[in-house]
Amino acid sequence: MEHKTAALAEADRLMTVCNSCRYCEGLCAVFPAMEMRRSFADGDLTYLANLCHNCTACYHDCQFAPPHEFAVNVPKVLAEVRNDSYAQYAWPAALRPVFRRNGLWIGLACAALVTLFLIGTFLWNGAEMFSAHTAPENFYALMPHNVMVALFGPAFLFAILAITMGARAFWRDISARDMGDGAGQAGIDHARAGHDAGALTYLDGGGDGCMNADEQTSDNRKLWHHLTFYGFLLCFASTSTGTLYHYLLGREAPYPWWDLPVVLGTVGGIGLVAGTLGLLRAKLRQYRDVRDETRFGMDTAFIAMLFATGLTGLLLLVLRATPAMGVLLAVHLGVVMTLFLTAPYGKFVHGIYRYLALARYARERRGALGAQHA
Amino acid sequence: MPDTRSPLDGTWDVLVAGGGNAALCAAIAARRAGRSVLVVEAAPRFYRGGNTRHTRNMRCAHDHATETLTGPYIEEEFLDDLMRVTGGNTDEALSRHMIAESKSMLDWIQEQGVRFQPSLGGTLSLGRTNSFFLGGGRSMLNSLYATAERLGVHVVYDAEVVALDIEGRTFRAATVRHGDADTRVEAAAFVAACGGFEANIEWLKEGWGEKADNFLIRGTPYNRGTVTRMLIDAGMQQIGDPTQCHAVAIDARAPKFDGGIITRLDCVVFGVVMNRDCERFYDEGEDIWPKRYAIWGRLVAEQPGQIAYVVFDAPNIKRFMPSLFPPVEAPSLRELAEKLELDPEKFEATVTAFNDAVVGGFPFDHTEPDGNRTEGLAIGKSNWAQKIETPPFYAYPVRPGITFTYLGVKIDSQARILTGDGNGTPSDNMFAAGEIMAGNVLGQGYAAGIGMTIGAVFGRIAGQEAARHGA
């Protein structure tokens, strides 16, 4: 079969090997999904690659892994295909090259946006930026609420638009073999996918835990990812609650330490900081042979952005009554703005595509069970 | 100052030669009994574990369904199966002992970290009897090695036993080659668990003649039978002969060694099989899987050039498990013959004669004898006969693929190697487990997963007994 890239061609070769073996079918969703096929088009391979959680158990379990002449390295090749797919589906297409040197781009974007916020805050406030603001309206003394909304609202909406466009194209490609059973069952599939994504069902090497540094199942990536992901959600919930307080209840920041936006943000921020440090450590320890080295920058840039978001948020909270608040506020807003704007052009999208792949898998599995019972 | 000690240096209670399922079960059992254990594995670390790397399940008796087994498989049924596949050619007392021990093996092996899963796709027929390793044989090995090392078993790779010092019935020491150095390793007990000799083509030729040059070895290239030979030469009792082995027909394009499971083909039933003279040579519809699977290796070995061609047509292409290499494909039978470099006239004539002889007309059902057969052919096809008439036409070239061998050393129920003095007196401190003694249980024939049962059960026994004798 013809393939668009060398990585896809190699993935096809590997899936042909794996489909003749099937020893790994109990490890995750990739292999059962593979068994439902006998040939692998680009869309199939993209789907399988995004189902893969990179637990690497199949590499250490494989009797045909390098140095065997069959050179089966599923985690590495699926990582390459998966990472390629992030670029392939990015919208607008003109921004796809951003994935090529992603770490650099995101680093530059972050530096630029933080600088802009620092300069902007300084131009707006002058020396006031460096004084303590203990009056009730402390943040807004430096940047009025409406200005923040005017800046972040459009950025947020743009990120959602861009991600949605990419997700649509991705879904279209991986659904080439649609079973056409109507939308009635789709809710069940998405509930299943939501559960599997939220619980990281397939990041456990088939039950005992993942492998990362070697063939021991001593990996804690699931924990670190949960801390990061749920930390991120809590931070998001904190911001959303603050917005609701502001517009619905007319209660304006700053909120006391025991109030919901602060509690959510603090717990979430700690999760983000601890989780990303754990993920980074795991990434650095990962067994060299299974890495997609060319995407190291993309992976670490995303981890770094989340870490920076959490850390600057926590610092801002702790030091909000000190003269450091102005600088910290500008830095934090610059970081968060970078996170929003670069979300469609970095590792952030992995969550979206994996969720969609899981939804596809839930649907296929339902179809396969239905066929068995028919 | 550089450390000049060999990793083999030390005082060892038990020396285990080998590194697969049997060796690790022996090492773990001996270590759990409090002995110091050295495992010498001839292969490098990646290839450790011999043919265990390529396995996927083991057959153990059990009285009830479990999380991963669909129903009971009692000892009597296991014994019946064993008697059937070996044609009674087994040491029945030893087999009964093994089957009884296999019951506790299910739990024991899991206590050593091995994980099971329900039977794999395409193997539903084994879901009740065989326990499948989650992640396959290499995953199973990884678990055993992790456990062994945690318990303090010392493992050295690239370490081959090249000589044995045996005095009468007593093991004194082994010479182990590691790197450029030969080291004399003394131990109070010796466990030989280092596989068969199937990778030793010269030895295969002693049984098969020059045909063996055309055999493919499905598993490890490290099973050369060195220790088996030395034990027999030192007066231990041999069991089996060099022709006894598990041989299946596998894709002729497979590598010479270590092609493993993915080169297997189970498509004989869907068409006809002819040799390079375009002649059919055996009833393709004799029996259902897995029995038919295990006879075709020998059948092909008897054909000129040790090669044959499975020929079928379009409707069958998706009826069996996919394998590594795509079939040879052509729009007509003549073109297919040309691609296979066979005589197109004879090729077509053989298929036509077969097609003309097909009778039955029942719905095709490969899961049980379906009554579609041939009539009037010298070599008939007694089931699943369908005309080969719908293009494209397909063929797979096949050769004998040797999975493992049965020639080895004779043992007693304590896994002690028997000396060849006529009375079969057990040796004092030498034990054998796994493929090297599989011939005690399997005089001929095979049933899925029994090799791993032999390895685990006799490995555990050998380890426990070695710990006792080697105190």
Q: For residue range B264-318, list pLDDT tens digits in order.
A: 888 888 999 999 999 999 999 987 665 666 789 999 999 999 999 999 999 999 8
pLDDT at residue A374 greater than cutoff 50: no
Tokens of A217: 């199942």
Task: Report the b/e string of A190-208 with b at 16+ CB within 10 A.
Answer: bebbeebbeebbbbbbbeb
- Tell me the C-alpha distance between B168 and B175, whole Å: 17
pLDDT at residue B3 greater than cutoff 80: no
CB-based contact, B54 to chain A, within 8 Å: yes
Q: What is the pLDDT of residue B295?
A: 84
| B-chain residue closest to A208, CA distance | B115
Section A303-328 average pLDDT: 93
pLDDT band for A128, please (50, 70, 90 cuts): confident
Report yes or no: A42 and A49 within 8 Å, Cβ to Cβ: no
Which residues of chain B make contact with A56, given a CB cutoff of 8 A? Answer: none
Tokens of B360: 């039955």
Of A125-134, B159-168, B445-454, the poorest mean pLDDT is in A125-134
Q: What is the pLDDT of residue A361?
A: 95
Query: pLDDT for A274-287, tens place per residue?
Result: 999 999 999 999 98
φ, ψ for residue A185 (rounded to 5)? -90, -10
Q: What is the pLDDT of residue B97?
A: 98
- Contact yes or no for A25 and B53 at CB 8 A: no
DSSP class of residue B425? P
Report yes or no: A361 and A37 within 8 Å, Cβ to Cβ: no
Query: pLDDT for B220-271, tens place per residue?
Result: 999 999 999 999 999 999 999 888 888 999 999 999 999 999 998 888 889 9
Of A125-134, A297-306, B43-52, the poorest mean pLDDT is in A125-134
Written as one string, the DSSP assignment of A21-61 is T-TTTTT-SHHHHHHT-SS--HHHHHHHHHH-----HHHHH
Q: How many CA atoms lie within 13 A of B166 on its CB side?
A: 21
pLDDT at residue A248 greater than cutoff 50: yes
In chain B, which among 394-423 make CB contacts under 8 A with chain A? none
Report yes or no: A310 and A271 within 8 Å, Cβ to Cβ: yes
Average pLDDT across chain A, whole number: 91
Query: pLDDT for A70-111, tens place per residue?
Result: 999 999 999 999 999 999 999 999 999 999 999 999 999 999
Q: Whole-model pTM?
A: 0.94
Query: pLDDT for A145-188, tens place per residue?
Result: 889 889 999 999 999 999 999 999 999 999 855 655 555 678 88
pLDDT at residue B358 greater than cutoff 50: yes
Percentage of chain B exceeding pLDDT 90: 83
| Alpha helices, H only, B33-165 | 75-86, 92-111, 136-151
Which residues of chain B make contact with A17, given a CB cutoff of 8 A? Answer: 262, 324
CB-based contact, A16 to chain B, within 8 Å: yes
Query: pLDDT for B53-62, tens place per residue?
Result: 999 999 999 9
- Tell me the C-alpha distance between B152 and B31, whole Å: 7
In chain A, which among 17-36 make CB contacts under 8 A with chain B? 17, 19-27, 32, 35
- Contact yes or no for B135 and A35 at CB 8 A: no
B73 bridge partner residues: B62
Section A311-333 average pLDDT: 93
- Contact yes or no for A57 and B135 at CB 8 A: yes
Asked if the ipTM is above 0.85, the reply is: yes
Residue from B57, B139, B319 whose CB has the most chain A CBs within 10 Å, to mutate? B139
- 3-class SS string, B230-283: HHHHCCECEECCCCCEEEEEEECCCCCECCHHHHECCCHHHCEEEECCCCECCC
In chain A, which among 46-85 make CB contacts under 8 A with chain B? 57-58, 60-65, 67-70
Between B135, B146, B318, which is nearest A23 by CB?
Answer: B135
Query: Which tops the pLDDT comparison, A68 or A205?
Result: A68
pLDDT at residue B421 greater than cutoff 80: no
Tokens of B205: 């030729």
φ, ψ for residue B123 (rounded to 5)? -130, 30
CB-based contact, A38 to chain B, within 8 Å: yes
pLDDT band for B1, please (50, 70, 90 cuts): very low
Average pLDDT across chain B, whole number: 93
CB-based contact, B134 to chain A, within 8 Å: yes
Tokens of A92: 């607008």
Burial (CB count within 10 angstroms: exposed 0-12, middle 13-18, buried 19+), residue A103: middle
- Contact yes or no for A22 and B323 at CB 8 A: no
Query: pLDDT for B433-467, tens place per residue?
Result: 999 999 999 998 888 899 999 999 999 999 999 99
- Tell me the C-alpha distance between A137 and A255, whole Å: 10
- Contact yes or no for A206 and B115 at CB 8 A: yes
pLDDT at residue B86 greater than cutoff 60: yes
- In the A/B pair of chains, how many CB contacts fall below 8 A? 84
